[in-house]
């Protein structure tokens, strides 16, 4: 995603401090989504929603806007107030109602019983896609770039999040062909801990079994994994390293050349 370009265009219409938090929380939510931390995705997007509401207030000229401002209860009365304001329909109706639906999903989901299927992943997916649409819409309305440049940035925002690890026929494959075997091992163990060296060898497609086991021993010496009797387990240090790899990896850029 072209964060700097997006920020530069939004700054022409919105306060700097709010734009910065909006983009930062959006980027963090994508990182948490790629790590499979569904609850953290919704936490980050809570701030995204608040910043979006401030941007709407700013555009509709209802009051002075800053990060320290106290937001009113987000309900139908608030939606009606915005709808009656003077301004573009996107800021008065379309973006607010999208934000309201996201807020309902984030705040109104009740406790899940043990016997029920946990909805956290599908909720996080819906919220993230909603945030992508809203950020793309803010950018579209603020962009002073050419048609082609604007469309390119919008596509970079709204790209589907492709899972980094693909499971096929009992084998896990890391979808980034440029990732080193070392990084693949950490990502694979983050996805599913306690795998044998043979399973990891097959998943990475490493050509030399002896050299691959030496790589595992090296990771063991670095305290990134525990390699004991052919079984590999991810350490807490290895988990942090894996999360950095996953968060910084943009599989869309790798596969489709997006920047």
Residue 30 lies inside a defined structural domain of this protein: yes
pLDDT given for residue 54 in this prediction: 93
CA distance 1 to 160: 12
Q: Are residues 32 and 130 in the same domain?
A: yes
CB-CB contact of 230 with 196 (8 Å): yes
Q: Are residues 201 and 152 in the same domain?
A: no
Report the domain count for the chain. Answer: 2
Q: In residues, how long is the chain?
A: 259
Between CA 10 and CA 21, with CA 15 as vertex, the angle to 5 degrees is 80
Q: Are residues 33 and 121 in the same domain?
A: yes
CA distance 156 to 234: 33
230 is in which domain, residue-wise? 165-253
Q: Are residues 172 and 152 in the same domain?
A: no
Long-range contacts of 93-97 (CB under 8 A, 24+ apart): 94/137, 95/52, 95/56, 95/134, 95/137, 95/138, 96/56
Q: Are residues 127 and 228 in the same domain?
A: no
For helices 181-191 and 197-204, angle between their N-to-C axes, nearest 10 degrees: 120
Residue 258 lies inside a defined structural domain of this protein: no
Q: Are residues 127 and 10 in the same domain?
A: yes
Q: Are residues 34 and 106 in the same domain?
A: yes
Last residue of a domain, one of 88, 123, 158: 158
Last residue of a domain, one of 110, 139, 158: 158
Between CA 4 and CA 202, with CA 252 as vertex, the angle to 5 degrees is 140
Give the C-alpha distances (Å, rounded to integers) separating 25 from 69, 76, 131: 18, 26, 10
CA distance 211 to 257: 32
CA distance 158 to 160: 6
CB-CB contact of 22 with 51 (8 Å): yes
Q: Are residues 116 and 181 in the same domain?
A: no
CA distance 210 to 65: 62
Give me the phi and psi of 195, to 5 degrees please: -115, 155
Beta bridge partners of 172: 167
Q: Are residues 171 and 243 in the same domain?
A: yes
Q: What is the pLDDT tens value at each position of the chain, 259 positions in all?
A: 588 999 999 999 999 999 999 999 999 999 888 888 888 899 899 999 999 999 999 999 866 677 777 788 899 999 999 999 988 999 999 999 999 999 999 887 755 555 678 888 899 999 999 999 999 999 999 999 999 999 999 998 998 877 788 888 889 999 888 899 999 999 999 989 999 999 999 999 999 999 999 999 999 999 999 999 999 999 999 999 998 898 877 655 443 344 3
CATH code assigned at 171: 1.10.10.10
Beta bridge partners of 227: 232
Q: Are residues 154 and 173 in the same domain?
A: no
Helix (H, G, I), strand (E, B) or coil at 99: helix
Start-to-end Cα distance in the chain: 6
Task: Tell me if the pTM is above 0.85.
Answer: no
């Amino acid at each position: 995603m072209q964060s700097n370009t997006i920020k530069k265009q939004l700054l022409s219409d919105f306060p700097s401090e709010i734009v910065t938090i909006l983009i930062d929380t959006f980027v963090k939510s994508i990182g948490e989504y790629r790590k499979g931390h569904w609850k953290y995705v919704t936490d980050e997007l809570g701030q995204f929603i608040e910043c979006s509401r401030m941007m709407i207030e700013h555009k509709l000229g209802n009051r002075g806007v800053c990060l320290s401002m106290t937001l009113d209860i987000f309900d139908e009365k608030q939606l009606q107030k915005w709808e009656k304001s003077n301004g573009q329909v996107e800021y008065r109706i379309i973006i607010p109602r999208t934000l309201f639906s996201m807020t309902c999903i984030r705040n109104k989901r009740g406790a899940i019983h043990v016997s029920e299927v946990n909805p956290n992943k599908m909720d996080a997916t819906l919220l993230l896609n909603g945030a992508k649409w809203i950020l793309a819409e803010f950018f579209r309305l603020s962009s002073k770039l050419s048609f082609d440049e604007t469309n390119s940035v919008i596509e970079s925002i709204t790209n589907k999040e492709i899972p980094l690890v693909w499971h096929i026929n009992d084998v896990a494959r890391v979808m980034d062909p440029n990732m080193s075997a070392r990084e693949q091992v950490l990502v694979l163990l983050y996805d599913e801990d306690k795998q044998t060296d043979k399973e990891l060898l097959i998943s990475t497609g490493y050509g030399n079994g002896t050299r691959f086991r030496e790589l595992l021993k090296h990771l063991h010496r670095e305290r990134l994994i525990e390699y004991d009797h052919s079984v590999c387990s991810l350490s807490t240090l290895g988990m942090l390293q894996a999360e950095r790899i996953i968060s910084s990896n943009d599989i869309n850029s790798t596969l489709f050349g997006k920047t």
